[in-house]
Structure formats: structure tokens, C-alpha cells
Amino acid sequence: SDDIGAVEGSQAMIVGDKVFVYANDNIYALNRSYGTVLWNTTIPGDEMAWGSWVSPAYDNNAIYISTGFNITKINAQDGTKLQEVAFPNAGYACNGGPTVADGMVFVGSGGNNYYALDENDLTTVIWNYTVPISGSSSTPAIADGKVVVGELTWAGSSHLCCIDEFTGAQIWATELPGNIGGSASIDAANDRTYIVVSTDYTGDAGEIYALNFTTGVVVWNNTITYSDSTPVISGDYLYVSGGVNTPGITYCYDRSGTLQWTVPHGSWTMSPAVADGKLITGDIAPWGTSDGIYVFDAITGTPVWSYEHAGSSPSIAYPDPIVVSVGNDSKVYAFGTKCYDWKEEWFGEGSDGGTSITTTELQDAIHHWLDDLDVRGYIMSTKDLQEIISAWLSS
């Protein structure tokens, strides 16, 4: 895409033919095939400039984003702002985003509370949960009627908390050494939940924990680099990234916590992804100077391909596989099967006029432009039409 101010570390959201992107005080919808801007909507953004890399959520044709003092709901089709609500406790959200499930929006306020809000009316609070000490910066993880969230205390220890999804009642809260700035992953089938705890930013140190999902008892833990990464579970393996300075490290563990291998790429603000037997990770971090996306065999760690830009938490969609990731140049990068160029419709050798533009082709192009008609998955801009007119004048 062009430079749209996309925030490095934030994860773009692919839904149908659109890609939704957080750009601090704007949400953008991009055309999935071409990266062109379909609409953008102004939001309050990170007013206190804390460097938030929050990611949007989607449900029922609506985009949800929690930034600063507010949570905002936007029509995904045309960008119309549907609701913008301040957190009841006047909290300030940073990094952690909303999760939508079962008609509710679950979100941390950045203060001491996590909320379940009515998806149809964000002013309706279904329940709120107060963490044991302070801080609510996780994106809630949900499975089997339970919500797992962390607290960010900066007090030497923090709690990973499990809450009843429908009542907000605490099921368990396990104290862990360090701070939880990231989000949990849940493997309900194997009764596990995983979380990263950051212990020393200057020393680039952290821990990854596996806990019993039912009881909250710690099953195992391992030392990693500093991280707010969300672990990703795939088959018998668990992957997590870390590292204050890029390039960082991405780790592969089995379910017992035994380290299988590492690769010298990753970051404390990015969460890897696994698809089609491949691990996708990246070198990107706030205030960093380098980026890049790297793909490895998910079983062996063998390199598959890489690209010098992008590197934020990737999003993957099928069919016509596509990987989308934000770079540190505020652009969004898409990788996959190359889309057929819309210009082939009029400029291609197989078109009516070949590489020249006929009057009939010009009329057809004007018709497409006036009515915003799809051209091979693309909506023409005024600049595109001007290019066709110029070519017609030269023919």
C-alpha cells in the first residue's frame, strides 16, 4: 500500500475483499487485491502518544477498535462510525484490543478493569472484572465459556486471570513473576493456556508459561527474550517471538515445553502465525530501524522465503492465499498469488485496441469510473481514468 500511517506492531485484519488497518487516529479499509484505500475513518487514537500497536477486531459487518479512552464501532462496508464510547472507569487502553464473541465485546480499559459490552450497544455493560493488582492490557482470549486475560502491574508480579465469559466471575488468578503486556493463547482440547511474562526490558529477558486451563496451575515455564508476543499453537507445537532489539528470536516448543529449535528473527511486539506447514515471523519493533518478514518450515525451522520489509504480526486468509503485514515504513504489504493487473482490461495485448486505447474502450472505462464498477477486483480512481484518457489522446 501507500504510506497510510499504519502502526508497526499492529496486526491488519483480512475480511473478505478488504484489509482493515489501524493507523493511530484512523482506521483504513484497503482493497485486498490491490491495497488501494476504500475508506478511512477518524478515531481518537493514541492521544497520550504511548506508542500503542492495538489491532482491530471484526464481527457482523462491524470493526471494533479500542484506542486511548474509547472503544469505537465502525461499519465495515462504508466506514460509517456507529458508536464511540468512553471506558466507564476513564481508563486508557494501549496495545490490547477487543475480542468479539457471543454478542459481546470483551476489552481491557488499560486501567484495572476488563469489560464485557453488548455488541449492539457499547454503552451497555454486561459485566466488568477488576484485576487483583492493576493494569488491563491484554486482548482477551476466549474458549469454552472462559475468558483469559493478564494484568500489567510494573510491581514485580502480575496475575493471569480466568473469568466466566457470561458472568464475569473469577474462576482462578495465578500470580506470575513479571508483567503481562501480551495476550494468552488457549488450547482447550489439551487443557492448557499459554502466556508470556516480561521480566527485564533492559536485560531483554522474559518467560513463557504453560498453565492448566481448568485450574490455573503452572505446568511448565521456560526463559525467553523479553516479549509481549501472543504464543501460537499449531498441532503438537507452540511458537513465540521475542527480543527488544531486532532481529529477535522465534522459539518452537513441543507441548511438554521442550525447546525444538529457534530462528534468529522475531520481536517482542509481533506474534507469529502458522499456516500451510509454514511459520511466519518478522523483525519489527517500536522505535526500531529495521524490519522484514521471514517464513520457515513449521516442523524443521528450515528457511522458505523472506522479504526485506513488513514484519508486524501477520494475518493470513484463504482461498487465494494471502499474507498481510505492516512494515516500519507505515505501509501494508501483501504476499501471495499476484492479482491480475486491471490495466490488462484496456492496455493488454489481448484487449480490443491492443496497447492503444480505442474510443469504445474509453467509453467503457468512463462508464466503470462513473458507476464505481469492479474491474478485475479493482475500483478505478480519477487518476486511473486520466491515464486511460491520455493514452486515448495519444492513440
Contact by Cβ (8 Å): 58, 76: yes
Q: Is 97 a domain residue?
A: no
Span 189-200, average pLDDT: 94
Closest CA to 268 of 178, 186, 329, 175: 178
Report the pLDDT value the prediction gives residue 202, as an integer from 0 to 100. 80
Report the pLDDT value the prediction gives residue 75, as an integer from 0 to 100. 96
Residue 128 pLDDT > 60, yes or no? Answer: yes
Q: Is 108 a domain residue?
A: yes
Q: Cis check for the bond before 314: say yes or no (omega within 30 of 0).
A: no
Burial class (CB in 10 A: 0-12, 13-18, 19+), 291: buried
Q: Which residues contact 189 (CB under 8 A, 6 or more apart)?
A: none
Report the pLDDT value the prediction gives residue 377, as an integer from 0 to 100. 60
pLDDT top residue among 320 and 105 = 105
Percent of the chain, pLDDT > 90?
A: 57
> Residue 62: how many CB atoms within 10 A of its CB?
19
Pairwise CA distance, residues 392 & 292, whole Å: 41
Backbone angles phi, psi at 344, to 5 degrees: -60, -25
Sign of CA dihedral 307, 308, 310, 312: positive
Locate 110 and state its grid cell: 488499560
Span 312-337, average pLDDT: 87
Backbone angles phi, psi at 190, to 5 degrees: -110, 15
**Which of 300, 320, 336 is the last residue in one of the domains?**
336
Span 79-87, average pLDDT: 94
Span 70-97, average pLDDT: 91
Contact by Cβ (8 Å): 374, 339: no
Give yes or no: residues 319 and 207 share one domain.
yes
Pairwise CA distance, residues 105 & 58, whole Å: 10
Give yes or no: residues 119 and 165 share one domain.
yes
Residue 365 pLDDT > 70, yes or no? Answer: yes
Q: Is 98 a domain residue?
A: no
Least-confidence region, from 20-24, 145-149, 276-280, 358-362: 358-362
**Which of 336, 355, 381 is the last residue in one of the domains?**
336
Report the pLDDT value the prediction gives residue 295, as an integer from 0 to 100. 95
Q: Which of the four pLDDT bands, split at 50, 70 and 90, describes residue 73?
A: very high
Q: Is 304 a domain residue?
A: yes
Residue 126 pLDDT > 70, yes or no? Answer: yes
Give yes or no: residues 385 and 318 share one domain.
no
Span 24-42, average pLDDT: 90
Least-confidence region, from 67-76, 127-136, 198-207, 282-291: 282-291
Q: Which of the four pLDDT bands, split at 50, 70 and 90, describes residue 319?
A: confident
Give yes or no: residues 301 and 386 share one domain.
no
Q: Is 144 a domain residue?
A: yes
Report the pLDDT value the prediction gives residue 342, as an integer from 0 to 100. 65
Q: Which long-range contacts (CB under 8 A, 24 or more apart) does 127-133 make?
A: 127/167, 127/168, 128/88, 128/89, 128/168, 129/161, 129/163, 129/168, 129/170, 131/159, 131/161, 131/173, 132/159, 132/161, 132/173, 132/175, 133/157, 133/158, 133/159
| Amino acid (1-letter code) at residue 320 | D
Q: Which residues contact 130 (CB under 8 A, 6 or more apart)?
A: 112, 113
Report the pLDDT value the prediction gives residue 19, as an integer from 0 to 100. 94
Measure the N-to-C terminal CA separation of the chain; round to a whole number of Å: 31
Give yes or no: residues 183 and 298 share one domain.
yes
Report the pLDDT value the prediction gives residue 58, as an integer from 0 to 100. 95
Q: Which of the four pLDDT bands, split at 50, 70 and 90, describes residue 353?
A: low
Give yes or no: residues 171 and 309 share one domain.
yes
Report the pLDDT value the prediction gives residue 289, as an integer from 0 to 100. 62
Give yes or no: residues 324 and 351 share one domain.
no
Q: Is 270 a domain residue?
A: yes
Domain range for 354 is: 344-394
Pairwise CA distance, residues 174 & 150, whole Å: 10
Closest CA to 186 of 285, 99, 65: 99
Report the pLDDT value the prediction gives residue 350, as an integer from 0 to 100. 63
Q: Which of the four pLDDT bands, split at 50, 70 and 90, describes residue 153?
A: confident
Q: Which of the four pLDDT bands, split at 50, 70 and 90, describes residue 339?
A: low
Q: Cis check for the bond before 56: say yes or no (omega within 30 of 0).
A: no
Stated as kind and residue range, the H or E segment containing 41 is strand 37-42
Q: Is 157 a domain residue?
A: yes
**Which of 315, 336, 357 is the last residue in one of the domains?**
336
Q: Which of the four pLDDT bands, split at 50, 70 and 90, describes residue 36?
A: confident
Report the pLDDT value the prediction gives residue 2, as an integer from 0 to 100. 84
Give yes or no: residues 219 and 361 share one domain.
no
Residue 170 pLDDT > 90, yes or no? Answer: yes
Give yes or no: residues 285 and 215 share one domain.
yes
Locate 359 and state its grid cell: 474510443
Closest CA to 35 of 60, 57, 17, 56: 17
Q: Which of the four pLDDT bands, split at 50, 70 and 90, describes residue 338?
A: low
Give yes or no: residues 193 and 332 share one domain.
yes
CATH of the domain at 284: 2.130.10.10
Report the pLDDT value the prediction gives residue 346, as an integer from 0 to 100. 74
Give yes or no: residues 317 and 249 share one domain.
yes
Contact by Cβ (8 Å): 105, 119: yes
- Residues making up the chain, counted from first to last: 395
Look-up of cell digits 488468578: 173
Report the pLDDT value the prediction gives residue 54, as an integer from 0 to 100. 87
Q: How many domains does the chain have?
A: 2
Query: What is the full DSSP assignment across 15-34?
Result: ETTEEEEE-SSEEEEEETTT
Q: Is 326 a domain residue?
A: yes
Residue 340 pLDDT > 60, yes or no? Answer: no
Span 41-62, average pLDDT: 85
pLDDT in tens, 370-392: 887 767 666 778 888 898 898 88
Give yes or no: residues 314 and 215 share one domain.
yes
- Across the chain, what does the average pLDDT equal? 89
